[in-house]
Structure 1
């Protein structure tokens, strides 16, 4: 149902950054979709692609059971571009060989372009690329030429220009590859002859039509948290099916200061949908009492999340037509971190997400997750295209389990009050800091702006002095990061005066807190959240 006739199909071999390829293509205003690597040439051809890109992947092409590609895709007459595993699987499928050298190649590498190639047009002969491989191509298929190498990898790129098949051992989709986006431009526009004519507005029309077609005359219940992701799904659902959708806001008592009131205000006045506010604060407090292990907290919250929804759905069914669908704001980083791959390959579980835990027995909903192939910045762009106000679209990311996973250790009323008040100060000060940067640069994603920021309450106390008296109270940990997609993040280099103001206000205004620390760990090795 894509309105543009141009389409790039990305075959996913289970790469950690496979979805990033589709996003980079979209950044160049060309529509892209993901398909599993085992899709047949017939299935791919039926999707009507203008180009095919083969992703990387964690497997070795020489291992038994490693993902394969239908050889017939190379006979479709559609241009093909392969990265990493896509480079290697192309080689072995078309008659070349891949071996296991003594030395692998990880991280930045110096690439030497060896031949005139449209893929490397307008890029220098020597350039920095991002490598992550141990296997390597050692014999190219008949009709192919080697176009680039590194000191470790003799076949860092190869091509058969006549058949329009181009592959690289390195990852152009990763920003560490210096001219990666230029290579994609060269492939899409110089080799495939495509035009940069797709926009987020096109996607809104497509997703609205897909949502409407899937739902038909049935009813939908939306898991609305008030965060960016579920708000965008709410706006999309309202546009697609209107009052066939019921927005259910589960208030577990773990939201940020003033947020329940804001959520109800926005979604009862700005959207033409039914809205139900479920007050479940006491039930969650009882279930979480004394629980300290973070995964146990997440699972308790996730399980109760479904129970609350199921109870609402049962009530709705007594009032009329049954509810068939549950809509959720699941986005791609949620899926990656939960190890729940949808398109081949496996990712390790970093942490469970409440909206990815399986349904309890008896739940009958079919899922609608329209954002599950999107990164956070794409979700924000989609929200703006749907007409959501900026204060919703650029709201701070917030985990479904809420402040329960920003309180280290057991959750209780006193800790929640301390954290809510401290977090409100952090957000107020850094909202103002980001606004000042925006006014200076005109760019909401300027180099030093904060992408996410919040307070964490550790399960310790420390000695302090206030008014010449000894205190023994809790520290607050400030977490502020720069990122674009939540897959990687660096700690924000905040000015000292901003840090000093945040610290001073928390110690002065938040009863129970006497110290502020700043987390300067990047992701990886850390995650953005603490639990």
Structure 2
């Protein structure tokens, strides 16, 4: 298992995806994760993500320095590399020229991350700060024209840093670098698949819910449909779904959902026609962010009213993806990485006293 520490990068979901593409499970955690929580997860390796901050900014995110005493391999990406170098006594400087976009990476010395790769290839940069002085034990393993320290390694402690972003498709050999980190450095095993995840999730839901009821908002989208299907496989008729027609649906969307989930899987689905309520609330509004908030608020009102008609519900099911969370808030509390608000994230469990 790999832990990805979230410094606010909008590429975090790509890091998680790249790891899982190699059949290794990973978990994204906030930068302020307690060190005891990391120990409890018992990861084979840790990846420090990029982020929009400079380490010298007030309230910029930082991990507990004792993370580097766990004896676990660490890969720092962009800001993650800066955080590691800074924490271990090195120096980070403002780059003379901000580097954004394609760059030619030149391999300078042997590194497990660059095994079986050509001496020069394309990578993707996005940074304003750069490494200056390295901590003791580190060596430079790659450079670009504008960044003399584009990759570093501490072979003895198995700490690695990449100034560029290997998780994006623009970086040639990026997925291979992550693969080398997983298997050559961390010695992970290929034992995670979607089948194994589904089986584990169903058992976890059974253990948590037991014979209680779960209520869930069902939109017909991939996230809520998949979550509802997993919960339904675990607890059957104790799942009560609420589908709110907000007047903004695709053609025949309600009919298709009723056939796919209601008829084929025999789910309990309560259909609510609230189209006029939503359209009245949205009348005259043109700003997309304002629209999202109105839709979210109206949904909560309708959902709460319908949920009260289902006695004995103890749990709320939510189909929330990593991108929803990453786009909706900064993991360390700052505003710079927020893309948009999202109605799936937060609000309902606290208001409705559900687990």
TM-score by length of 2: 0.92
The question of 1:257 aligning with 2:251 is answered yes
The question of 1:329 aligning with 2:319 is answered yes
Q: 1:256 to 1:128 in 2, by over 3 A?
A: same
* 8 Å Cα contact 1:15/1:56 also seen in 2: yes
* 8 Å Cα contact 2:12/2:326 also seen in 1: no
* Cross-structure match for 1:228: 222
Distance 2:152 2:287 in 1: 50
Say which of 239, 256, 260 aligns to 2:233. Answer: 239
* Cross-structure match for 1:75: 69
TM-superposed CA distance for 1:135, in Å, is 1.0
Say which of 270, 281, 284 aligns to 2:275. Answer: 281
SS in 2 for 1:254: coil
* 8 Å Cα contact 1:56/1:84 also seen in 2: yes
Distance 1:334 1:220 in 2: 22
* 8 Å Cα contact 1:15/1:345 also seen in 2: no
* 8 Å Cα contact 1:264/1:277 also seen in 2: no
TM-superposed CA distance for 1:291, in Å, is 4.5
Greater RCO (CA < 8 Å, at least 6 residues apart): 2
The question of 1:84 aligning with 2:101 is answered no
TM-superposed CA distance for 1:343, in Å, is 5.8
TM-superposed CA distance for 1:43, in Å, is 2.1
Distance 1:348 1:77 in 2: 31
- Structure having the higher Rg: 1
Distance 2:300 2:309 in 1: 14
Say which of 113, 126, 129 aligns to 2:123. Answer: 129
Say which of 329, 332, 341 aligns to 1:340. Answer: 329
Say which of 135, 155, 159 aligns to 2:153. Answer: 159
* 8 Å Cα contact 1:12/1:18 also seen in 2: yes
* Cross-structure match for 1:150: 144
Runs of 5+ consecutive residues of structure 2 not aligned to the other structure: none
Deviation sequence 1:457-516 (CA, Å, 0-9, x none): xxxxxxxxxxxxxxxxxxxxxxxxxxxxxxxxxxxxxxxxxxxxxxxxxxxxxxxxxxxx
Distance 1:243 1:19 in 2: 33
SS in 1 for 2:344: helix
Say which of 196, 199, 212 aligns to 2:190. Answer: 196
Moved more, 265-274 or 227-236: 265-274
* 8 Å Cα contact 2:9/2:337 also seen in 1: no
Deviation sequence 1:152-206 (CA, Å, 0-9, x none): 1111111111111111111111111111011111111122222323211111122
Any residues of structure 2 matched to 1:280-299 within 5 Å, and which?
A: 280-299=274-293
Distance 1:106 1:261 in 2: 47
Distance 2:302 2:103 in 1: 52
Say which of 326, 351, 354 aligns to 1:363. Answer: 351
Q: 1:296 to 1:197 in 2, by over 3 A?
A: closer
Distance 1:354 1:38 in 2: 24
* Cross-structure match for 1:479: none
Q: 1:78 to 1:311 in 2, by over 3 A?
A: same
Distance 1:100 1:333 in 2: 30
TM-superposed CA distance for 1:212, in Å, is 3.0
TM-score by length of 1: 0.63
TM-superposed CA distance for 1:365, in Å, is 4.3
Say which of 353, 366, 373 aligns to 2:342. Answer: 353
Say which of 7, 26, 31 aligns to 1:13. Answer: 7
* 8 Å Cα contact 2:137/2:154 also seen in 1: yes
